[in-house]
Structure 1
Amino acid sequence: MTIKLENVGIAVRDLEETIAFFTDLGLTVVGRDTVSGEWTDTAVGLDGNHAKIAMLQTPDGHGQLELFEYIHPDAIETEPTLPNEIGMHRVAFSVDNIDQALGIAAKHGCHPLRGVATYKDIYKLSYVRGPSGIIVMLAEELKKSPAPEEQ
């Protein structure tokens, strides 16, 4: 059996606000739709499922986020997750410049949970509380891995 990660799906409060946040960070919208009907009820497991969706892709073409804003049933507001809660935790991105990425996030009113940390002189990283309470990890690699031809 072959398995491949297709995307990470995130329910959001405001689709346009969340798209703006992630596109400013460098992702690209590759598709949008409004979905409903028996097939979505069956696939998602909710009767009367009706949602606006957007698929976003990272510049390297490997990572995708599926964002969805529920029209029906009503979205359920919950407290934002904490870093130590069981369940879906966060979405993580490598960035070339963490300070620039944090500046972009701040323009959207999204700030680090605590600050920027350095892990073993390998990464600078920070958890940011993004739109709809999404935890977004941003990481800048400090020690670049040698290219395959250099090894």
Structure 2
Amino acid sequence: MTKNKLLRMDNVLIVVDDLEAMKAFFLRLGFEMEGETTVGGPPVDRLISLQNVRATLVFMRTPDGHGRIELDKFHTPRAIRIGPEKAAVNELGIRRIMMAIEGLDAMVADLLAHGAELVGEVVQYENTYRLAYIRGPEGIIVGLSEQLK
């Protein structure tokens, strides 16, 4: 009898409209490109239960190689937005991706200088972490966490 076993989380999918802006945002955060491809055809249609799919996929990873994201730009059928672009942090669903970083103040300043928004304030949690939530292109929220020494 085979025992089921989780090996790892491979990636998080983010459907985007402006692929270049999102790619630039994650590169600025420190992600590295793994690859880019276009997919479509009957196997993709069957997998995701849509018809006539054609999408560009961008694969990115964190510098340590353990965290990955997949940015998908749907050409057909077009992506749809159900809720507001700038969802509140307490809205149901996936609201943010947390990144462990060094140099929180410099990272926040750099992202703000390139069009991102600070969601609330940079805060210190006890004597363990400094944290910030940043809203990037298309309303995505990333959490930045710097461990205090």
Aligned residue identity for 1:127: Y
SS in 1 for 2:118: coil
SS in 2 for 1:114: coil
**Normalized against structure 1, the TM-score is what?**
0.89
Q: In the alignment, does 2:136 pair up with 1:133?
A: no
Q: In the alignment, does 2:17 pair up with 1:13?
A: yes
Residue 149 of structure 1 corresponds to which residue in structure 2?
none
How far, CA to CA, are the matches of 1:51 and 1:35 in structure 2?
A: 5
Residue 117 of structure 2 corresponds to which residue in structure 1?
111
Aligned residue identity for 1:83: V
Aligned residue identity for 2:91: E
Residue 79 of structure 1 corresponds to which residue in structure 2?
84
Displacement, 1:122? Answer: 0.8
Kindly indicate whether the alpha-carbon contact (under 8 Å) linking 1:25 and 1:104 is maintained by their aligned counterparts in 2. no
Residue 45 of structure 2 corresponds to which residue in structure 1?
41
How far, CA to CA, are the matches of 2:114 and 2:17 in structure 1?
A: 14
Displacement, 1:9? Answer: 0.5
Q: Percent identity?
A: 37
**Normalized against structure 2, the TM-score is what?**
0.90
Displacement, 1:137? Answer: 0.6
Displacement, 1:43? Answer: 1.8
SS in 2 for 1:115: coil
Q: In the alignment, does 2:101 pair up with 1:101?
A: no
Which is worse superposed, 72-81 or 14-23?
Answer: 72-81
Displacement, 1:7? Answer: 0.3
Displacement, 1:106? Answer: 1.3
User: How many corresponding residue pairs?
Assistant: 143
Q: Which of 2, 15, 35 lines up with 2:5 in the alignment?
A: 2
How far, CA to CA, are the matches of 1:128 and 1:13 in structure 2?
A: 19
SS in 2 for 1:47: coil
